[in-house]
Amino acid sequence: MNEKTEIVTNSGDPKMFYKWKLNSLILRMVYPQILSNFVIKYNHDISKINKALLNIGKNSARRVISEFPIKEFNTKILIRKITWRHWGTKSIVKGNIKDGELKIIVKKCPLCMGLAPLEIEGLHYCISFAGFLQGAFEVLQKKYKKLIQNKMTFETIESKGSNDLNCVHLCRIEE
């Protein structure tokens, strides 16, 4: 294998990029640098970094989700639709709303796929993904009264970027 082939192989297959949505591609190009800047800015303070990354996702959702008319009010199906439409990836949603928790499992996370594992305990590439879901539901709950009106908080509990098998986001539903 020559050097040019090795670089392409190690950094991803160019054909794969053509299948990605433009927003996912751009995000993967700039997001690692944003993450690095937060690590430096907050001097490795994981709670501050996580809050900043969660806010990136929440603010992004608030800007784009209002243009997303919904006809589906089942929370689990809506999470899958948001994940597919805005992130270009499928998700599996497990759990029961009545139990107060849902787990969103993403096998092909656009933020973690193909990136070197993070070496900082408690930090995940895809915290912004959880923030996006939280911001989306905040907007949609105000817009659609048919939607579950309980407060929902999302957090990332596992990620491929931390050497976990899948990315897993936890949704807590308060009564």
pLDDT in tens, 88-115: 889 999 998 889 999 999 998 888 877 7
Give the confidence band of 144 by pLDDT, cuts at 50, 70, 90.
confident
Is 151 a residue whose pLDDT tops 60?
yes
Average pLDDT over residues 12-33: 62
pTM score: 0.82
Query: Higher model confidence: residue 126 or residue 6?
Result: 126
Residues in the chain: 175
Residue 82 Rama label (left phi>0; alpha psi -120 to 50; beta): alpha
pLDDT in tens, 120-140: 888 888 899 999 999 999 999
Q: The CATH number of 3-173 is which of 3.40.50.720, 3.10.129.10, 3.30.1380.20, 3.40.50.2300? A: 3.30.1380.20
- Mean of per-residue pLDDT scores for the chain: 82
Measured from the Cβ of residue 48, the count of other Cβ atoms closer than 10 Å reads: 14
pLDDT at 170: 96
- Please give the pLDDT value at position 36: 85
Q: What mean pLDDT is predicted for residues 7-33?
A: 57
| Among candidate residues 153, 159, 147, 156, the one with its CA nearest the CA of residue 174 | 153
User: Rg of the Cα trace of the chain?
Assistant: 17
Q: What's the CA gap between 89 and 101, in Å, rounded? A: 22
- For 152, the token pair is 């929902």
pLDDT(27) > 60: yes
Please say whether the dihedral angle defined by the alpha carbons of residues 109, 83, 99 and 122, taken in this order, is positive or negative: positive
**Residue 3 token pair:** 């050097």
Residue 56 vs residues 27, 38, 97, 130, 133: alpha-carbon distances, Å: 11, 12, 26, 10, 11
Confidence class for position 52, pLDDT limits 50, 70, 90 = very high
Task: Please report the sign of the dihedral spanned by the C-alpha atoms of residue 14, residue 92, residue 129, residue 164.
Answer: negative
Cα dihedral 13→87→36→170 (10° resolution): -120
Question: Averaged over 114-119, what is the pLDDT?
Answer: 72
